[in-house]
Amino acid sequence: MKVGVPKEIKTHEYRVGLTPGAVREYVAAGHSVLVETKAGAGIGATDDEYRKAGATILDSAREVFASSEMIIKVKEPQSSEWAQLRENQILFTYLHLAPDPEQAKALLTSGCTAIAYETVTDAHGGLPLLAPMSEVAGRLAIEAAGSALKRYAGGRGLLIGGVPGVQPARIVVIGGGVVGTHAARMAAGLGAEVTILDRSIRRLRELDELFEGRVRTRFSTIDAVEEEVFAADVVVGAVLVPGASAPKLVSRGMLSSMRKGSVIVDVAIDQGGCFETSRPTTHADPTYEVDGIIHYCVANIPGAVPLTSSQALNNATLPFGLALAKQGFAAVLEDPHLRAGLNVYRGRLTYRAVAESLGLPFLPIEQAAA
């Protein structure tokens, strides 16, 4: 199959759909990979590295779209890319169609087959193409907290791990899923005193075993959240209620009982955030202060480390991408997890939740492909 990799054009997006390492895998499996010139610039990968991996470098996105049977990207296609998609072409990327009627209409009009990373599933009920970004965000949340705790940044002037004879920071993580686990791991590794709150007892049991006593676990009730937040130097918001906005677990009133210069990192901001006082920020201006508490609410945390993020994303997308390259659309029919990723098929919306959010007709793939 001819697989195309255009350069990402969304503002501040530096990741790339295929790294040179991933290109090598596709080429080894007998596919042709067409890469737009400078597509890897954001991760420091040159056209020459892509050539060495076996790719053909093309001068423009237009040529990549025109010559490829499958397009592999990172972010949802932007308006200038919509018109370049066509019937029978497979698009494999993050889409987030539910809140984006304009993009949905454009994909339907194009006639392409669009598979969304964020809805591909795995055998354990997880979202394997979303998880790597949660891993990155969870780990970076603690780095962000460490920076914000510094005195010149408005923080308490506290070193996360302390030093011998001096108390470390108390870090409370609300939500012990992928983000929360990786934040806790990083925080514990730095020597912080860490507590994870979750509503799932099963998850708390798993975390207890995983951390072998190095991290405290606590069932998340209103009382528990209050007690832990009031005593914390850092609170990481990492809750997710699938398909819903994040519950607001920390009110503005609670901030006055926290110590001045404490830090809130609301990773769940992309789902609306779990602190009443959260509002989305950017890497260019990541923090702001409310009632003496420093807030870090960057909505695309993994964008800060495109090299790590691209590699993590490629590791997760590779088996699915290779299956699509080998079998084409038949791979979607054969693999229920890839089928869960199918959002658009030749002018039809084939993902129920997306169709319902957009108020558009839904057609199961079995009928759409019949």
Ligand X SMILES: NC(=O)c1ccc[n+]([C@@H]2O[C@H](COP(=O)([O-])OP(=O)(O)OC[C@H]3O[C@@H](n4cnc5c(N)ncnc54)[C@H](O)[C@@H]3O)[C@@H](O)[C@H]2O)c1
> Does 300 sit near ligand X (CB under 6 A)?
yes
First to last CA, the chain: 24
Query: Of the candidates 107, 197, 254, 305, which one interacts with ligand X according to CB under 6 A?
Result: 197
- Residue 236, strand partner residues: 173, 265
* Residue whose beta carbon is closest to ligand X: 177
Element (H, E) at 229: helix 222-231
> Does 8 sit near ligand X (CB under 6 A)?
no
> Does 270 sit near ligand X (CB under 6 A)?
yes
- Judged by CB under 6 A, the stretch of 25-33, 99-107, 196-204, 207-215 that binds ligand X is 196-204
> Does 93 sit near ligand X (CB under 6 A)?
no
Angle subtended by helix axes 20-28 and 306-327, to nearest 10: 20
Site string for ligand X, 116-135 (x = CB under 6 A): -----------------xx-
What is the C-alpha to C-alpha distance for residues 258 and 48, in angstroms, rounded to an integer?
A: 53
CA distances from 352 to 104, 118, 240, 256, 269 (A): 13, 14, 20, 43, 25
259 Cβ contact list (under 8 Å, min separation 6): 156, 233
Of 138 and 154, which CB lies nearer to ligand X in the complex structure? 138
- Judged by CB under 6 A, the stretch of 4-12, 14-22, 29-37, 173-181 that binds ligand X is 173-181
What is the C-alpha to C-alpha distance for residues 257 and 261, in angstroms, rounded to an integer?
A: 12
Catalytic residues: 96, 270
Query: Of the candidates 121, 147, 200, 281, which one interacts with ligand X according to CB under 6 A?
Result: 200
What is the C-alpha to C-alpha distance for residues 196 and 281, in angstroms, rounded to an integer?
A: 25
Query: Of the candidates 35, 53, 301, 325, which one interacts with ligand X according to CB under 6 A?
Result: 301
Query: Of the candidates 36, 76, 81, 198, which one interacts with ligand X according to CB under 6 A?
Result: 198
> Does 248 sit near ligand X (CB under 6 A)?
no
**3-state helix vs strand vs coil in the chain, percent to 5:** 40, 20, 40
Which parts of this chain interact with ligand X (CB under 6 A)?
133-134, 137, 174-180, 197-200, 203, 220, 238-241, 246-247, 249, 267-271, 299-302
